[in-house]
Structure 1
Amino acid sequence: MKQHVVVIGGGENAEHDVSIASASGVAQALRARGWAVDALTIGRDGIWCSESGPLGLGVGDSLAAAVALIGRADAVFPAVHGTLGEDGALAALCALAHIPVVGSGLGAGAIGMDKWTTKLVAEAIGIRVARGRLISASDIGDEEYDGPVVVKPVSAGSSFGVSLVSDAGELRHALDTAAEFDRRILVEEVVRGREIDVAVLREADGTRWAAPPLEIRTSGLFDTETKYDGSAEFSVPAVLDAAEHAALVQAALAMFDALGCSGVARIDFFLTPDGPVLNEVNTMPGMTAASQVPRMFAAAGVGYEELVGRLVAGAGVPGVRVGSAV
C-alpha cells in the first residue's frame, strides 16, 4: 500500500510564492518515488485549496476540509515558509491531529522564527551573535544612529523587510519598511565576514549530521532581490580549513539541539577571523531542488528525491524505509 503524504504550500505571508515552489518540488519528488500525494495550498487570503480548487467558501470551511484530509494521511510535509507555517503553526495543527509531521515541532519552529529569541538562545550556549537592539513599531521615532546597521523584522523570512543602513537619513525608512512585516524590529551591527550556511538533518534513527557548508557571495546585502534574481553565487562545499569547518559544524549542531529541531534546518553564519557569528536559523528552509539546503546535501551524495524521502522517514511514519516508497 502506498504511503499517503499531504504536502502544504503557500501561506498568508510574503513568502507565499517561495513556499509554493518548495511544495511543488517536494510533491513531485514524492510522486516520483511512488508515493500518494495530496497537494494543498494555503491562499494569501487563508483559504485552503486542493489541486482542483478551493476546499470551502471561507477560511473556516476550507480549514475543516483540509484537516479531514490531514487526518487520513500518513504524514504531512508543511513546506510553508514564514509566519503561520514555519513558525510552528502547522506543526501544532498536525500534533493536534496526531499525524506525523516533517520538520520541527511547535517550540523549535516558534523560537527559530523569532530572530531576537534565537539570538538569546545562541548567547546562552556560547555562540557569538551580532550586537543588536529590539524596537517596537509603535516606538519608531528619532532613533539614534550609531554607525552602519542592518534593520530586519523579527519574524519574517527570505530577507523581506531587511535593509542595510549606511547613513542616518536612511534609518527611519528602514524601520518603517521592516514594520510592514512585523511589529517587532531588530537593529543589528554590521558583521564583516564570509556568509556560510550549514544544513543539519536529523535521520529517522535520531542521528543528526551536517552537510558540507555552502558559501554565499554577493556584491552587497544578500536581500530578497539578490536571493531570487540569480546574481548571488553559491559555492558548495565552501572552501574552509579544518578548524573553520569544525567550528561551523559544531555551532550548527549546537543550535539545532538547543532549539530542539527535527527534520532539516539551515543555520546561517558569518565567518569572521574570530570564528562564527550566528545570523539566523531556518527550520523550514527553501526546498526546491535548486535551493541551498538540497545543494548542500547533493554535495554529500544525497540527491533531492532521497533527501525528501529521508525527511518523511524522519517524521516517524511507520513502515517507511529510506531509499524507497512503500
Structure 2
Amino acid sequence: MNKKTVALIFGGKSAEHEVSLRSARNIADALDKDKFTPMLVGISKEGSWYRFPDTKIFTENTKIVDSELPANAEPVALVSLKGKPVLYSLKSHSETNIDIAFPIMHGTMGEDGTIQGLFKMVQVPFVGCGVWGSAAGMDKEVMKRLLQEAQIPNAKYLLLTPFKNITYDEVASKLGSPFFIKPANAGSSVGVHKIKSEADFAVKLKDAFQFDTKVLAEEFIQGREVEISVMGHNHSPEASLPGEIIPQHEFYSYEAKYLDDNGALLKIPAEITGESLQKMQSLAKKTYQVMGCDGLTRVDFFLRPNGEFYINEINTIPGFTKISMYPKMWEATGLSYKDLITRLIILGFEKYEAEQKLKTSYLD
C-alpha cells in the first residue's frame, strides 16, 4: 500500500470537544508514519475548520475557539473537486488531496452521522460507522427500539420531552427508584444523573434538557459495568476481551471518566471466562450488527449477579485517550495500539471500495 494521507478530524461543536483533542493526540502519536501521513484538522467550538501543521495544537491547547487560535491555524474547507476529496485552504487557495478521513469527534456533530454524511457527499473514505449506524447508535431511544425488536436485553425506560409533563412518582412507579435520566443524544455521561428523590428529579431533568430535547428515564440495574470492543465489517465483526469499570464515584459520570484521575478502576481483562465470556462476545457482535455498525464500536453491558447481561449502550466513536477502554481492551486481546489504528484505517478503505461498486445511476 502506497503511503496514504489520513485526515485526523477532531474538536467540533460538542460537549466532548476537549476529550476529542486528547483522543486525537494519541491517535496522531500512534499512527504508523511509514504507512500514513497525518493531516491535522481541528473544528472549533463555533464550527470553523482549521488545519494545523504539527501536534503543538494538542500540547499547547485544550480546545479550539475562533477567538483564541494559534497563529499557524489555517482556515480550510473539505470539498469535492472533479469528484476528488480535497482540503481547500481559504487562505492560500491551495488544494491538498485526502486519501481517508479519521473522525475523532465524540458526541454531537461528529458521532451522530452528521460528519459521516459530509464524507459521503465529498466521496472521501472514512474510518468507522456510516451515517445510519452512527445516528442510530447516538440516539439512545432509537437504539433501544432496535434492541427490543432484536430481543436483545436492555434496561426498561420511558421517553421524556419538554412538551409532556411527567412526575417523579409516575416514573418511579414504572421503573422503580432510584433510576437514571440521560439525554438521548449525548455521550461520555454528559447530563446523566442518578435520581433518588422528587427534588433530584426536578433539578437534574432541567440539566439533562440542556443537552437534548429528548431525555430517557431508565431503570437502575444493579450489577458490574463491563465493556467489549468490537471491530470489523458488519457481516464479520470481531470482539475483544472484556474490560470492567469499577467506579469510585456513585456511577461512571463524566467527572469520573475525565476529571478525576482516581474516578474509576479499570480491570482489563475483566474476570469473565468460559461460557459467560462467549455469551458476552456473541451478544456484543449481535448488537453491532443489529445497530448497523461498521468499522468500530464499543458495546457497554451491565452484568447482574445472576449472570444475566444487559446492553447499556453503544459508542461508535469511543475514546482513544491514554485511559480509554476501547484500545486497552484490544491490547489485552493481543492487538497493539499502533496496529489497531492501522487496522481501522484499512477497514475504512475496504468499506469505501465495496460501496463504490454499487450503482448510483439507473440509466448508465
Q: Normalised by the size of structure 2, how large is the TM-score? A: 0.81
Question: Sequence identity of aligned pairs in percent?
Answer: 32
Question: When the two structures are aligned, how many residues end up with a matched partner?
Answer: 313
Query: Could you list the runs of 4 or more consecutive aligned residues of structure 1 that deviate by over 6 angstroms after TM superposition?
Result: none
Contact 1:47/1:54 (<8 A) preserved: no
Which residue matches 2:102? 77
Match of 2:344 among 311, 319, 324: 311
Contact 2:86/2:98 (<8 A) preserved: no
Match of 1:187 among 217, 223, 242: 217
Please state if 1:105 is matched with 2:125: no
SS at structure 2 position matched to 1:129: coil
Which residue matches 1:196? 226
Please state if 1:301 is matched with 2:334: yes
Larger Rg computed on CA atoms: 2
Contact 2:141/2:159 (<8 A) preserved: yes
Contact 2:30/2:341 (<8 A) preserved: yes
SS at structure 2 position matched to 1:315: helix
Task: Quote the Cα distance in structure 2 between the aligned partners of 1:289 and 1:224.
Answer: 16
Which residue matches 2:153? 128
SS at structure 1 position matched to 2:128: coil
Which residue matches 1:86? 111
Please state if 1:40 is matched with 2:58: no
Q: CA deviation at 1:68?
A: 3.2
Match of 1:260 among 284, 289, 292: 292
Match of 2:261 among 221, 230, 250: 230
Q: CA deviation at 1:169?
A: 1.5
SS at structure 2 position matched to 1:138: coil
SS at structure 1 position matched to 2:50: strand
Q: Deviations over 1:49-97 (max 9, x none)?
A: 11131416xxxxx5659x7318821110001111110111111111111
Gaps of 5+ in 2: 53-71, 89-95, 352-364
Contact 1:74/1:317 (<8 A) preserved: no
Please state if 1:207 is matched with 2:240: no
Contact 2:78/2:87 (<8 A) preserved: no
Tell which deviates more after alignment, 28-37 or 302-311.
Answer: 28-37
Which structure is richer in relative contact order (CA contacts within 8 A, separation 6 or more)?
Answer: 1
Task: Quote the Cα distance in structure 2 between the aligned partners of 1:195 and 1:154.
Answer: 20
Task: Quote the Cα distance in structure 2 between the aligned partners of 1:138 and 1:23.
Answer: 38
Q: Deviations over 1:90-134 (max 9, x none)?
A: 111111111111000000000000011111111111111111100
Gaps of 5+ in 1: 57-61, 319-326
Contact 2:79/2:122 (<8 A) preserved: no
Q: CA deviation at 1:18?
A: 0.7
Match of 2:247 among 218, 223, 246: 218
**Cα distance change on mapping 1:63 and 1:100 into 2, 3 Å:** closer
